Structure 1
Amino acid sequence: MKDFFTALAITSTLVITQACASQVKSGETPRSTTVSNVNSPASHNMSGSQAPKAEKNSHDGHNINNSQEEHSGHSKLESANAIVKITLPAKITPKIPVPLAIDVTDKEGKAIANFDQFQEKLMHLIVVSDDLQSFNHIHPIYKGNGRFEVEANFPHPGSYSLFSDYKVAGKAEQVSVLKAEVPGNSPTAPKIDLATTKTFGNTKANLKLSQPTIKTGQEVHLIFNLQDAASNQPLKDLKPYLGERGHLVILKQSSPLTQADYIHAHAMKNTPAAEVHFITSFPKPGKYKMWGQFNRNERIITADFWVDVQ
């Protein structure tokens, strides 16, 4: 039998808008499948990749900035102060999916049974290498008694941070940071590319900013202009992705990665057909990497860009 070890999460509470979470109790009907399908696009989107097919009736995140007009106002919900632990194999081999178990308890160590569904999922898990070369967004399956299970794929040796995003029933949304190590020599990180136009499979993405220089603490409008790579024509087959026009995960280049380095937003409504707009702000100066995810005719496009914040 394989050796496993358990790590304690660094937990933070995010106070976000109540509109982002639906009050659906999870403890009553836990799903019976052991792990989520790691081959589905929502659960296996590496940086710059194009997944084979979109996962239906699911979602890819939330907006923690509260800066969008669709999400005005702040939640009055109190923190659950939940504690999260992760159990994973003692040795992880790159590119080989491994099982993960995530347990959510109260401060006394008692399992928390009920969770609210938000953005159509009970938990969102962002798995990113600390050098920001790889990115994966998966949805652990609730097994009951506070336990979530999923498989994850770690593509290369090095340190990884896992941002577990969940909502204890009736409480404010929380993000807990979990850590994993993959043995071996980490690949050399490529030079940071600040290009604003890139091609991802059959899709060309052009990133536009509302201001030439991004300033710390100031709201910035991020526009992803999406075109067909072959024709350079605006996309006509862009569909809602998990309830939204798109989702954006942002991480600050930092060592080690912490919850303070993490930003997650979803798209504004009523924007031009081939454009996806986000509004956010960056808390500290530095280099940030962004992963925008969009649904092109049931195929998920993951478009990554770097930005420099002054």
Structure 2
Amino acid sequence: MKKAAIALTITAVLLTACGPGGMKHSGTMDHSGSMNDSDHGNMDGMTMVADKTQAENIKAKFMLSNDQPQPNQSATITVRIQDKDGNPVNDFDVQHEKLMHMIIVRKDLSYFNHIHPDYKGNGEFTITTQFPTAGEYEIISDIAPTGIGAMSKSEWITVQGTAPAVQPINPDPTLTKEVDGKEVTLSINHLMANMELELNFNIKDAQTKQPITDLQPFLGAVGHVVILNDKGGEYLHVHPAEENSSGPDAKFMATFPHSGVYKIWGQFQQNGKVFTVDFVIEVP
């Protein structure tokens, strides 16, 4: 990316996407989305997805409080949403309890953050956060301008300093992981590119192996799933097939647009605490 304060012109297509030089995001039914080039789109069961022409007419200008951000120092991100003539877009639909969902990932996908900027009015969203290390990060903002529909806008930034070595993105040998005292197993039926499939997160107590059945709603749903491919070419923000589930299973429908390696982050809540589990898979 260039430095901060760069206006984005991105092309939203039928569902959501993002990545360096543009991400394509493929969606299924009304649980995920897909996009072209440097554009992204987002969709949930309550919000229509913007068509290509409408999304092209919405611009996002990303700015940082410091055009040379440093690791572990507070930086304020401002996103200004404008129409094609540069006028502010003022009205947005709520998607899963928020007007904007912001995803921040490091280029090698070793860092993930899902946060929610405050709306200040006049098309402007802001949030203060920190980046843990030097390196390149993508900032993805999911929005739904009223009367237009859901879409994503993104920008790359460079955090100053010596970046740590790039971590390889290798498929996990097993799809069971332990996090925050939970044992989470991901199962996927008929794993194949360009076909709708089901992602099922089964969640147990890591010590007792008893099913967890008291998951609490996280942003109005049993959980949220974000998916990025290792090349920065596809981005999916997926919502559950059964929003009111409380476990032990949390099911999501998604479509991987191409074969390749993808990283999946699932986010869930129990006892007032959100926990995140990630898996890397290879789609044939």
Secondary structure of the residue that 1:79 maps to in structure 2? helix
1:14–1:175: 8 Å Cα contact kept in structure 2?
no
- Tell me whether 217-226 or 67-76 shows the greater mean CA deviation: 67-76
- Tell me whether 285-294 or 189-198 shows the greater mean CA deviation: 189-198
1:196–1:206: 8 Å Cα contact kept in structure 2?
yes
After TM superposition, the structure 1 = structure 2 runs for residues 71-220 of structure 1, keeping only pairs within 5 Å, are 71=45, 79-80=54-55, 81-88=57-64, 89-191=66-168, 192-194=170-172, 195-211=174-190, 214-220=191-197
Distance 2:46 2:100 in 1: 23
Distance 1:72 1:309 in 2: 28
User: Over aligned residues, Cα RMSD in angstroms?
Assistant: 2.5
1:96–1:154: 8 Å Cα contact kept in structure 2?
yes
* Count of residue correspondences: 255
Runs of at least 5 residues in structure 2 that lack an aligned partner in the other structure? 16-25, 33-43
Instruction: Report what 1:8 is aligned to.
Output: 7
TM-score (norm 1): 0.75
The residue type equivalent to 2:226 in the other structure is V
The residue type equivalent to 1:65 in the other structure is T
1:245–1:268: 8 Å Cα contact kept in structure 2?
no
Distance 2:273 2:119 in 1: 26
Secondary structure of the residue that 1:279 maps to in structure 2? strand
Distance apart, 1:67 and its partner CA: 5.4
Distance apart, 1:159 and its partner CA: 0.6
Question: Relative to structure 1, is the Cα distance of residues 308 and 5 closer, same or farther in structure 2, using a 3 angstrom cutoff?
Answer: closer
Question: Relative to structure 1, is the Cα distance of residues 284 and 178 closer, same or farther in structure 2, using a 3 angstrom cutoff?
Answer: same
Question: Relative to structure 1, is the Cα distance of residues 189 and 205 closer, same or farther in structure 2, using a 3 angstrom cutoff?
Answer: farther
Distance apart, 1:188 and its partner CA: 2.3
Distance 2:226 2:49 in 1: 21
1:15–1:172: 8 Å Cα contact kept in structure 2?
no
Deviations, residues 220-254 of structure 1 (Å, cap 9, x unaligned): 21111101112121113311211111110000111
2:71–2:159: 8 Å Cα contact kept in structure 1?
yes
Deviations, residues 80-123 of structure 1 (Å, cap 9, x unaligned): 52111111111111122211111111111112222222222111
Q: Which has the higher contact order (CA 8 A, sep 6+)?
A: 1
Distance apart, 1:174 and its partner CA: 1.5
Question: Relative to structure 1, is the Cα distance of residues 243 and 139 closer, same or farther in structure 2, using a 3 angstrom cutoff?
Answer: same
1:9–1:179: 8 Å Cα contact kept in structure 2?
no
TM-score (norm 2): 0.82
Runs of at least 5 residues in structure 1 that lack an aligned partner in the other structure? 17-62
2:28–2:196: 8 Å Cα contact kept in structure 1?
no
Secondary structure of the residue that 2:267 maps to in structure 1? strand
Distance 2:220 2:79 in 1: 26
Distance 1:66 1:215 in 2: 17
Matched, 1:297 2:282: no
Q: 1:65 aligns with which of 28, 35, 38?
A: 28
The residue type equivalent to 1:85 in the other structure is K
Percent of residue pairs identical:
32
